[in-house]
Structure 1
């Protein structure tokens, strides 16, 4: 596909969740069904190998097989796609970037090398080298709250100035002061993507979209919610408040119990029931029991029925 630009990179993008078999292998037959459901939804694009895609567990053979599948199916469907080339090792990440670039995705997602924290100059050097290896394919930097190196708005501005190939960042968002400091970047130089469940409030402040945990819950529902933001922002903000109520009451306790983000995202997908993902994640992490899903599903449908195509009770 054609390389994306910062102004073009918008909306709700859905991750490719990995169905995991009992022997800890990726169930590629079920994965094709999951991908079919995402491609049949109204999300704005598909991406691979974020945290929810368990990129840190993939062998290089699995990485290549996954990307061959996603590239082929997204190209056939006319769905924009980004390939994640992240790895905690910067050297292995460079290898993944070079291979991903050959598939000509709209962009390649990367993380900073993650075993040791980086100085600002080292972070810039890392992204500069990644851009060289990407050979003209744009980059999106994923900088989550648990990264060893967290970049502030001034450092993101420096990266944008030094690395023209960087078109977007995935960050958790922030308070009013953070958005004020990001104002010169958003919508012009970088597409700023925030947490999916914070998208309405982020959109109000200039965020471009999300690599969305809400799309894990319901791809179509997340896309409808984004459209609502563009047409009726107060209503979208009210939905966000109810969504936070559900997450705080029913998903946050699972996080507090130590379940990983991939386990939580797969739990959301099981609650949504839109594809046979399952709740199992890869070794060594534990997962939420399928037995917990029916009660969680009832609570989600009670809190945010419109994400599932249902009417809000009056």
Structure 2
């Protein structure tokens, strides 16, 4: 597909969630159904292997099968896609980048090697080597809140200057890279998009799309057309997450479990709430009450299991 750049990397991007069977295998049949639902929802792109995609649990054969599927389906649908080549090991990440690059996605998402914090010189060396191995495919640096190395604005500016292949960032807060929004596509978590867009964010790798890909797109369009109304919806989204999802996080459920729970609340695809060992799964029986709360508090986002707006 056409390479992405800082100018055309925009909008709501939806992750690929893994339907997991009781024996820990991936149900690729259900995964294909969920991917088809995402591709039909109007999202601006699809990405793999963020935190919600449980990239750190994938075997290399699973990694390749997932990416071959996503590349084929997205290309057929004409939807841009990014492949995540992240791994806590820098060496294994380079291997994943090589294989992802062979599929020529719009961009490859990477994380910094994560066992030890990196010195700024090592950050530059890491991203430069990743760009070299990507063989002309642009890079997006994915830097979640739990990363051991969190580049500051000065280091991000150096990366932008010294690694031309770097076209985008995923950060917890656009203010870290606000001065770079003219040079890089800065992406934020979905539930902050309305405010962050006004500060220069290009879009979101969206937890809101976990609730409903189509609902997240509708909200993004509202952000462009009526920013004040979109910020009111954002406030309600954040209240919903604080009241009903943050307590699950407080009980120790990891981010992939929370994102799959959001998908179960939305009911748009039968992904299920099961996550891979060693993380705990949010019980399915908790979902109906959470869905009822979402229907009360953020009804405009929801899509029914049959695909009709609630």
Please state which band the TM-score falls in when normalised by the shorter chain. over 0.9
- State the match for 1:140 in structure 2: 140
| Displacement of 1:189 | 1.1
Superposed displacement of residue 122, structure 1: 0.3
What is the match of residue 130 of structure 1? 130
The equivalent position to 1:265 in structure 2, one of 256, 259, 267, is 259
Query: In structure 2, what is the equivalent of residue 290 of structure 1?
Result: 284
TM-score, normalised via structure 2 length: 0.97
Aligned with 1:185 (options 180, 190, 194): 180
Q: For 1:232-311, what aligned pairs fall within 5 Å after superposition? A: 232-308=226-302
Q: SS of the counterpart of 1:52?
A: helix
Aligned length: 307
Partner of 2:170: 170
Question: SS in structure 1 opposite 2:301?
Answer: helix
CA distance in 1, matches of 2:289, 2:138: 42
1:152 CA displacement:
1.1
Supply the distance in 2 between the matched residues of 1:153 and 1:217 (Cα, whole angstroms): 31
Structure 1 runs of 4+ off > 2 angstroms?
none
Which residue does the alignment assign to 1:25?
A: 25
Instruction: Name the residue aligned to 1:217.
Output: 211
Distance 1:291 1:2 in 2: 43
Instruction: Give the secondary-structure state (helix, strand or coil) at the position aligned to 1:46.
Output: strand
* Correspondence 1:198 to 2:192: yes
Q: Does 1:57 align with 2:57?
A: yes
Q: Following the alignment from structure 1 to structure 2, what is the Cα–Cα distance between the partners of residues 90 and 101?
A: 16
* Residue matched to 2:92: 92
SS of 2:53's equivalent? coil
- CA RMSD, Structure 1 to Structure 2 (Å): 1.5
In 1, Cα distance between the equivalents of 2:136 and 2:263? 34
Distance in 2 (CA, whole Å) between partners of 1:13 and 1:136 is 22
Aligned to 2:115: 115
Contact between 2:254 and 2:279, CA under 8 Å: does it hold in 1?
yes
Q: 1:86 to 1:29 in 2, by over 3 A?
A: same
CA distance in 2, matches of 1:256, 1:10: 32
Gaps spanning 5+ residues in structure 1: where?
none
Q: CA deviation at 1:309?
A: 5.6
Q: Following the alignment from structure 1 to structure 2, what is the Cα–Cα distance between the partners of residues 309 and 265?
A: 16
